[in-house]
C-alpha cells in the first residue's frame, strides 16, 4: 500500500529524504503498509495548517478565486505566474491519476459482467513495475509496451465536451454524489470487517517512519479540494470561529473514512499484494469473493465500483473546470497567449482552454501508470501550499493593516508549520519526481521571462 517496488536499486526511484540521510539507493518507494492509516492522519494535520493559511489569504481578496487570483492581487505577477504554472501541473496530473483509476474501475466493471477487453487497450503504455495477474504471473514486463489506456482517455475527452458545452455546479447534485461515495465507503468497511485477518497487520509499520512518510507523500492528492472550504471566509458570519470548524470537520470526516478503508483493506489482503494497484479496494473484494463464504462480496464490489466511478467523474469535472479557468485567467492577464482566453460564441465557455486542458490530461492518462502521474500531482500541490504559506507571512509584514476577515491563529506558527510539513512530505517523493518538477518550473520561468513578462498587462509600466 502506497509504495512501488522495482527490480534494482536506483537513485532516481529513491525518496529524496532517504537518499539525503543515507546516501544509498532503494528499489522503489517503501510502502507504508497498514501504517497508511497513520500517513492519512499526518496528511490531515498538514492540511489543517495549510487550509488555515489559505483561508487567511483568501479572506484578503473580496472575490472568489484560486491561489493564482489571490497571489496576483497581493504579491504581483512573478509569484502569480509560478503558482499558476504550478496549479496547471497540480490539476493536470491529479486528473491523470483519477482518470487512470477510473479506467481500472471500468475494467473491473466489465469483468463483473463477464466482459474481457484486450489488455493492451485498457493498460497504460508505460508500466514501470510491469503488470501481473492475481496469481502473480507477468502479463507485461517493466517498461514501455504497445498499448493505450482507452478508457482513461475517453472519460477525459467526454467530460471535456460537457465542459465546453457548459455545466453549472449544483449543490444538490454535489451532495447526492458525496452521499453515494460515503455509502460505497461504508459498505466496503462493514463488509470487509467480517474478513479481516489480524495477522496481515503485523508488522504494522513494515518500513518504519520512512515508509509512513512516503505513504503520506503519495496519498496526499486524495485530500486535494479540501482548500475550497477555506475560500468561504467572506460568507461566514463569524469567520474566526466558523472557518477552523469547517476545515477541521472536513478533514476529520475524510480521515476517518479514508483511515477506515486503509485499516480494513490492509486486514483482508497482504498489503504488498496491492502496491501500485489503481483499483486496490475493488481488486481486494474480487479476491475475497472467490473464497468460501465470499460470494456476497460480489454485490459489495458492484456498489463500490458505482460509488467510486461517480466520485471520480465529479472529481475530474471539477479539476478540469479549474484547470481550464487557470489557463483562461493567465491568458486574460497576458501571461499566456490570448488564444487560451477565447470564448465559445454559442456556449460562452473558454472553449480553447478547455480543449487544451482535455488533451493535456487525456493523452498522458492513456500512456502513464497511476504511480508516475500521482507523484507529480503531489509535489505540485505541496509546492503551491508552501507558496501560499510564504505569501501569508510576507503580507503580514508588508500590509499588516490590510483587512482580513480571518487570520490564522498563533502568529507565525501555523504558516511556519505549514511550510515545514509540506517540505517534509515533498522530500518523501522520489528523486525522479523532484527532477521532473524542477524541469517543469525551469520551463515555466523561461516562458515567463522570454514571453509572458513582455506581453502582460504590466509590460508597459516597466
Concatenating the DSSP letter of every residue in 376-421 gives HHHHHHHHHHHHHHHHHHHHHHH-TTS--S---STTTHHHHHHHHH
163 versus 171: the higher-pLDDT residue is 163
Q: Which domain holds residue 365?
A: 11-461
Confidence band for 416, pLDDT divided at 50, 70 and 90: very high
Q: Give mean pLDDT, residues 409-438.
A: 90
How far is the C-alpha of 282 from the C-alpha of 115, rounded, in Å?
Answer: 16
Q: Answer yes or no: are the C-beta atoms of 30 and 211 closer than 8 Å.
A: yes
How is residue 139 written as a grid cell?
A: 502479463
Residue (of 303, 301, 254, 317) closest to 99 by Cα position = 317
Model pLDDT, residue 4: 65
Is residue 359 included in any domain, yes or no? yes
Is residue 325 included in any domain, yes or no? yes
Half-sphere exposure for 220 (CA within 13 Å, toward CB) = 37
pLDDT at residue 275 above 60? yes
Model pLDDT, residue 459: 65
pTM of the model: 0.84
Bridge partners (DSSP) of residue 15 are 430
CA separation (Å) from 122 to 242, 283, 367? Answer: 46, 16, 10
Number of domains in the chain: 1
Q: Answer yes or no: are the C-beta atoms of 202 and 33 closer than 8 Å.
A: no
Model pLDDT, residue 381: 85
How is residue 188 written as a grid cell?
A: 466496503
How is residue 136 written as a grid cell?
A: 502473480
The angle at the Cα of 427, spanning 423 to 432, to the nearest 5 degrees, equals: 130
Model pLDDT, residue 66: 67
| Burial of 132 from C-beta contacts in 10 A (0-12 / 13-18 / 19+) | middle
Peptide linkage before 450 cis (omega within 30 of 0): no
Is residue 79 included in any domain, yes or no? yes
Is residue 369 included in any domain, yes or no? yes
How is residue 432 written as a grid cell?
A: 525522479
The CATH number for 395's domain is 1.20.1740.10
pLDDT at residue 151 above 90? yes
Model pLDDT, residue 2: 57
Is residue 454 included in any domain, yes or no? yes
pLDDT digits (tens, 9 = 90+) for 4-25: 666 677 888 888 888 888 888 8
The angle at the Cα of 86, spanning 175 to 442, to the nearest 5 degrees, equals: 165
Confidence band for 209, pLDDT divided at 50, 70 and 90: confident
How is residue 261 written as a grid cell?
A: 478503508
Q: Answer yes or no: are the C-beta atoms of 184 and 15 closer than 8 Å.
A: no
Is residue 382 included in any domain, yes or no? yes
pLDDT at residue 458 above 80? no
Is residue 255 included in any domain, yes or no? yes
Q: Give mean pLDDT, residues 33-54.
A: 88
| Burial of 171 from C-beta contacts in 10 A (0-12 / 13-18 / 19+) | exposed
Is residue 1 included in any domain, yes or no? no
Amino acid at each position: 500500500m502506497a509504495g512501488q517496488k522495482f527490480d534494482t536499486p536506483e537513485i532516481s526511484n529513491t525518496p529524496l529524504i532517504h537518499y539525503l540521510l543515507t546516501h544509498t539507493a532503494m528499489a522503489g518507494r517503501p510502502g507504508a503498509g497498514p501504517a497508511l492509516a497513520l500517513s492519512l492522519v499526518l496528511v490531515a494535520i498538514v492540511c489543517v495548517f495549510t487550509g488555515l493559511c489559505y483561508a487567511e489569504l483568501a479572506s484578503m481578496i473580496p472575490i472568489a478565486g484560486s491561489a493564482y487570483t489571490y497571489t496576483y492581487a497581493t504579491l504581483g505577477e512573478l509569484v502569480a505566474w509560478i503558482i499558476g504554472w504550478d496549479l496547471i501541473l497540480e490539476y493536470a496530473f491529479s486528473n491523470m491519476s483519477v482518470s487512470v483509476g477510473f479506467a481500472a474501475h471500468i475494467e473491473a466493471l466489465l469483468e463483473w459482467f463477464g466482459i474481457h477487453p484486450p489488455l493492451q487497450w485498457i493498460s497504460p503504455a508505460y508500466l514501470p513495475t510491469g503488470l501481473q495477474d492475481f496469481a502473480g504471473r507477468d502479463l507485461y514486463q517493466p517498461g514501455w509496451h504497445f498499448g493505450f489506456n482507452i478508457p482513461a482517455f475517453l472519460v477525459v475527452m467526454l467530460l471535456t465536451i460537457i465542459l465546453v458545452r457548459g455545466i453549472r455546479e449544483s449543490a444538490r447534485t454535489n451532495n447526492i454524489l458525496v452521499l453515494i461515495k460515503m455509502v460505497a465507503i461504508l459498505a466496503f468497511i462493514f463488509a470487509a470487517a467480517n474478513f479481516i485477518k489480524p495477522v496481515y497487520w503485523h508488522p504494522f509499520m513494515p518500513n518504519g517512519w520512512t515508509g509512513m512518510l512516503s505513504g503520506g507523500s503519495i496519498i496526499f492528492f486524495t485530500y486535494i479540494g479540501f482548500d475550497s472550504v477555506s475560500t468561504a471566509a467572506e460568507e461566514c458570519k463569524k469567520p474566526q470561529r466558523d472557518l477552523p470548524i469547517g476545515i477541521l470537520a472536513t478533514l476529520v470526516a475524510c480521515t476517518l473514512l479514508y483511515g477506515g478503508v486503509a485499516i480494513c483493506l490492509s486486514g483482508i489482503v497482504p498489503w504488498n499484494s496491492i502496491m501500485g494497484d489503481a483499483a486496490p479496494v475493488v481488486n481486494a473484494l474480487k479476491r475475497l469473493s472467490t473464497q468460501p463464504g465470499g460470494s456476497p462480496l460480489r454485490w459489495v464490489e458492484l456498489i463500490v465500483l458505482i460509488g467510486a466511478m461517480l466520485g471520480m467523474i465529479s472529481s475530474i469535472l471539477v479539476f478540469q473546470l479549474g484547470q481550464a479557468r487557470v489557463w483562461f485567467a493567465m491568458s486574460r492577464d497576458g501571461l499566456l497567449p490570448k488564444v487560451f482566453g477565447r470564448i465559445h460564441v454559442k456556449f460562452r465557455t473558454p472553449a480553447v482552454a478547455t480543449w487544451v486542458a482535455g488533451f493535456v490530461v487525456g493523452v498522458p492518462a492513456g500512456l502513464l501508470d497511476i504511480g508516475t502521474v500521482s507523484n507529480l500531482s503531489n509535489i505540485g500541490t505541496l509546492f503551491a501550499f508552501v507558496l501560499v504559506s510564504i505569501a501569508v507571512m510576507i503580507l503580514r509584514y508588508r500590509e499588516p493593516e490590510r483587512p482580513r476577515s480571518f487570520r490564522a491563529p498563533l502568529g507565525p506558527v501555523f504558516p511556519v508549520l505549514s511550510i515545514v510539513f509540506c517540505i517534509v512530505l515533498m522530500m518523501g517523493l522520489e528523486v525522479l519526481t523532484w527532477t521532473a518538477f524542477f524541469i517543469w518550473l525551469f520551463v515555466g520561468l523561461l516562458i515567463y521571462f522570454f514571453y509572458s513578462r513582455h506581453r502582460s498587462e504590466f509590460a508597459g509600466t516597466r
